Amino acid sequence: MKAFIFAAGLGTRLRPFTEHHPKALVPVGGVPMLERVLTRMRQEGFDSVIINVHHFADQIEDFLKAHAGFGLDVRISDERECLLDTGGALLHARNLLDDETEPLLIHNVDILSDAPLSHLVNHHAGRRQMATLLVSDRDSSRRLIFDRDGRLRGWRDLRNGAVRPAGLTPESGDVSLAFSGIHVITPADVYAEMERQERNGAFPVMDFYLEAMTRRPIEGYRYDRLRLIDIGKPATLAQADSMLSKKPGEADGAEAGD
């Protein structure tokens, strides 16, 4: 199985640590977050991982080299010249994929969770859709809207009532769920749609999904037992340390990406 870890971000919320280090190397329970994600992937059967780098890229490359990639085939997608956001990162890394028909797991480096990664990939592989988004019913101010069949139909910000696409109205059977920052794509479909949209440069992958959802199936995979903490916030680092020692069901999820 193959994966892509988004690790290029500036990590501004984690200053002062990120004034001298990449956010991917922030320690959680004494272990760099990138190591935690890679170790989990290896344990779940992943064999190849792409990691994008920008902020203090050399430190990430040296860390991976010192640990022999933690037993994985690690490929670096270099964004030193320009930070490309999540959608642009996927497009930039296209030449690093050997097979665009094989499912690709996407995972934010600052997400600590007990998500069923290999099961999510296998679920996606058994369905004909461009993307599968791991979602759950937990506290989050930003929600994705799915129809009764689990297909993505929009996005809502509960803080200010903003919706996308413009004019989105509730329908019978709609479900509002929080995105985890973890998803699986069929690269061939994603790149074909990016070409159709004439995407280039830097752009968020969620913007791309919300544009593509009326033409290509994008579905949610609901996992309400999910324990998840976004360690991209200083306030949740302590939560993450606690989460590591708790049993399933004991930890409250923090908001991914807020």
Q: pLDDT tens, 113-132?
A: 889 999 999 999 988 899 99
Residue 58: inside a domain: yes
- Concatenated DSSP letters for 147-175? -TTSBEEEEEETTT--EESTT----TT-E
Domain for residue 142, yes or no? yes
> Does pTM surpass 0.95?
no
Beta bridge partners of 183: 106, 133
- Is residue 251 domain-resident? no
Residues 144, 151: Cα–Cα separation, whole Å: 10
Q: Give one DSSP letter per residue of 29-66, joined into a string.
A: TTEEHHHHHHHHHHHTT--EEEEEE-TTHHHHHHHHHH
For 122, the token pair is 């296998």
Number of compact structural domains in the chain: 1
pLDDT reported for residue 258: 40
Q: Beta 163-164 vs 152-157: how paired, if at all?
A: antiparallel
Tens of pLDDT, residue by residue over 2-31, are 999 999 999 888 788 778 999 999 888 888
Domain that holds residue 127: 2-243
H-assigned helices in 111-233: 117-125, 187-196, 205-212
Residue 212 lies in a domain: yes
Q: Is 43 within a domain?
A: yes
In a domain, 258, yes or no: no
Q: Would you say 185 and 131 are in contact if contact means Cβ atoms under 8 Å apart? A: yes
Residue in 183, 188, 198, 192 with CA at minimum distance from that of residue 215: 192
Residue 81 CB-half CA count within 13 A: 4
Q: Residue 227 maps to which CATH number?
A: 3.90.550.10
Q: Is 50 exposed, middle or buried (0-12, 13-18, 19+ CB in 10 A)?
A: buried
Q: Which two tokens stand for residue 156?
A: 């809502």
Question: Measured between alpha carbons, how far is 137 from 224 in angstroms, rounded to an integer?
Answer: 6
- C-alpha 228/C-alpha 34 separation (Å) is 16
Q: Is residue 174 domain-resident?
A: yes
| Residue 85: band (very low, low, confident or very high) from pLDDT cuts 50, 70, 90 | very high
What pLDDT is recorded for position 30?
83
